[in-house]
Amino acid sequence: MGLHGGITMADAKSRVALVETEDRKTGVLTSIKTLGINPARNKDVLIKPNFNTADPAPGSTHNDTLVSLVEAVWEMGAKSIRLGERSYPPTREVMEQKGIIPLMNKLDVRIIDFDDLEGKDWVEVKPEDSHWKDGFRVARPILEAECLISTCCLKTHQYGGVFTLSLKLHVGVVPTSRHGFQYMRELHGSARQQEMIAEINAPFKPDLIVMDGIEAFVDGGPMTGRRTRGNVFLASEDRVAMDAVGVAVLKSLGSNDKIMGTKIFEQRQIARAVELGLGAASSRQIEVVSAGNQSMAYRNRIVEVLDKG
């Protein structure tokens, strides 16, 4: 494991802030405040949402969550804010269906549609130790972001990913066949899809991740699924810790066999991310921080599930 703030990751604890709430603005603001970091001050910020499709939350990032996050980032003293995404259908169509473009214009946020990137701005990554047969490409704005903030949903994934939280969110930084590449075909056709999802995350690191778990898919997903109320927001700097706690929430809500029947750190997305040194290697390296007494009972339930695996 690499150095992190002068101490090894083995000695450090990754913090995940937890807020029990039914209100998205409260969830965004309180989770970030509880985490107690401000990576956005005087920075050019890039926000990566979950706009795989335009399906209602948790099929995609709720507009209220995105607006609240943008407002929070401006309050944190950001120099500029951009929104960057590559959707499964044409990205502009998804943003138009969701009404994102006028919302972002009003909030002085510049949209970067990754579909409009030139070939040179899909940067080739060829890791030595990878399940990708010939590496993959990543959108240059992600790699060069001065401050990267990712916001994800709480849901299962029926097409081989098992769950789609903060690690899988970043599949949207890799190009599709409409950009002239066959990476999505390779990914979805591979028996090692979960490991490949983790590997996409190795070339970059978000400075902040916010998860909207007010509504969750506990089966099906990522577009539609069996829906339940999670009534929780999470925030962290660590994608592995975020996904481990997210899977613990799914377990606590009662999910499908692939979630319920596998230990959290034995989930292959998480296990591969740990091998790559992307974050916490076990529940012992995660500190779940409650947003005050009102969230403590929820926090304690999730920590119990996390520790059991």
List pLDDT tens digits, range 116-140: 999 999 999 999 899 999 999 999 9
Confidence of residue 203 (pLDDT cuts 50, 70, 90): very high
For 206-221, what is the mean pLDDT?
98
Does 89 have pLDDT greater than 70?
yes
pLDDT of residue 128: 87
Determine the residue type at 244. Answer: A
Q: Which of 200, 35, 68 is nearest to 125 (CA)?
A: 200
Instruction: Look at 9 and 263; give whichever has higher pLDDT.
Output: 263
Helix (H, G, I), strand (E, B) or coil at 249: helix
State the distance between the two ends of the chain, measured CA to CA, in whole angstroms: 22
Confidence of residue 12 (pLDDT cuts 50, 70, 90): confident
- CB contact burial 5-17 (16+ within 10 A = b; e otherwise): eeeebeebebbbb
Does 3 have pLDDT greater than 90?
no
Neighbours of 289 (CB within 10 A): 17
- Taking phi over 0 as left and psi of -120 to 50 as alpha, with beta for the rest, 180 belongs to left
Mean pLDDT of the chain: 96
Yes or no: say if 225 and 217 are a contact pair by the CB < 8 Å rule. yes
